[in-house]
């Protein structure tokens, strides 16, 4: 679902996600690169980054929790993508609000996103768009919910030896409106613990209290990939 568009359009503008959900997709892309898939013209934009964090290759991966480092380790260093074609919000920017505006401009200057890869958080969030984020929002600074912080600590920060209280509580994230301007979407959810929130997003009310429900507003082609666990609560099979 991701490799075919790259083959069809080598200069594809691809929106990328972080966390556990897309790791299988990234491993498959790495495998296909080994079989000849070319990424030299691919342009990427990541959904989000923690404020106060940026990649530091002088530190071991376990001690660098930036999403820039995550992408470097889990995808970029394994494929032939040009560094100048990689775009991730700068969590170390002196002026985070200006960085949000700059990121929007860079997406526009690239011609918009052709395909956006998405997961869904336990609060029903897309990227770091927590409940209550307007569905027409642009790239912005987001204060992270306790549930999101708990999930991210369990998945990533515990391995670095950080105390829970030391985690970053703010991020720069693409807005829901920014995401909806992509030309196509690929949304992935796995595991039974995502079943109820996935069903609510796909079949429930469209509401800013569950920002992933905005997928129902999307006008272009959208593919939703679920395993049996994540699909468990769907009414329409």
Give one DSSP letter per residue of the chain, joined into a string. Answer: --HHHHHH-TT-EEEE--SSTTHHHHHHHHHHHHTT---TT-EEEESEEETT----TTS-GGG---HHHHHHHHTGGGS---GGGEE---TT-S-HHHHHHHHHHHHHHTT--SEEEE---TTS-BTTB-TT--TT--SEEEEPPHHHHHHHHHHTGGGGT--GGGS--EEEE--HHHHHTSS-EEEEE-SGGGHHHHHHHHHS--BTTBGGGGGGG--S-EEEEE-TTTTTT-S--
CATH of the domain at 102: 3.40.50.1360
Residue-wise pLDDT tens digits, 109-165: 999 999 999 999 888 999 999 999 999 999 999 999 988 888 877 766 666 666 777
Residue 82 lies in a domain: yes
Residue 56 lies in a domain: yes
Residue 139 lies in a domain: yes
Residue-wise pLDDT tens digits, 95-109: 999 999 999 999 999
Residue 25 lies in a domain: yes
Q: What is the pTM of this model?
A: 0.94
Residue-wise pLDDT tens digits, 39-67: 999 999 999 999 999 888 888 877 778 99
Which pLDDT value is given to residue 196?
97
Residue 142 lies in a domain: yes
Residue 165 lies in a domain: yes
Question: Domain limits at 197?
Answer: 3-226
Residue 236 lies in a domain: no
Q: Domain count for the chain, please give it.
A: 1
Residue 51 lies in a domain: yes
């Amino acid at each position: 679902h991701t490799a075919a568009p790259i083959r069809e359009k080598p200069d594809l503008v691809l929106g990328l996600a972080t966390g556990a959900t897309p790791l299988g997709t990234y491993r498959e892309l790495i495998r296909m690169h080994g079989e000849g898939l070319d990424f030299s013209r691919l342009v990427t934009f990541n959904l989000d980054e923690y404020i106060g964090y940026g990649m530091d290759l002088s530190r071991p991966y376990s001690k660098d929790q930036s999403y820039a480092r995550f992408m470097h380790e889990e995808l970029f260093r394994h494929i032939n993508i040009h560094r100048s074609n990689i775009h991730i919000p700068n969590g170390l920017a002196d002026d985070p609000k200006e960085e949000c505006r700059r990121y929007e401009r860079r997406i526009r200057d690239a011609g918009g996103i052709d395909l956006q890869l998405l997961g869904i958080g336990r609060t029903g969030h897309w990227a770091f768009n927590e409940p209550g984020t307007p569905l027409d929002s642009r790239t912005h600074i987001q204060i992270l919910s306790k549930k999101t912080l708990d999930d991210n600590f369990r998945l990533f920060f515990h391995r670095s030896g950080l105390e829970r209280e030391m985690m970053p509580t703010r991020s720069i994230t693409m807005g829901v409106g920014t995401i909806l301007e992509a030309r196509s979407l690929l949304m992935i959810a796995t595991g039974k613990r995502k079943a109820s929130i996935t069903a609510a997003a796909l079949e429930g009310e469209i509401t800013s209290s569950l920002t992933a429900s905005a997928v129902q507003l999307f006008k272009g082609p959208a593919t939703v990939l679920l395993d049996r666990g994540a699909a468990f609560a769907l009414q329409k099979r």
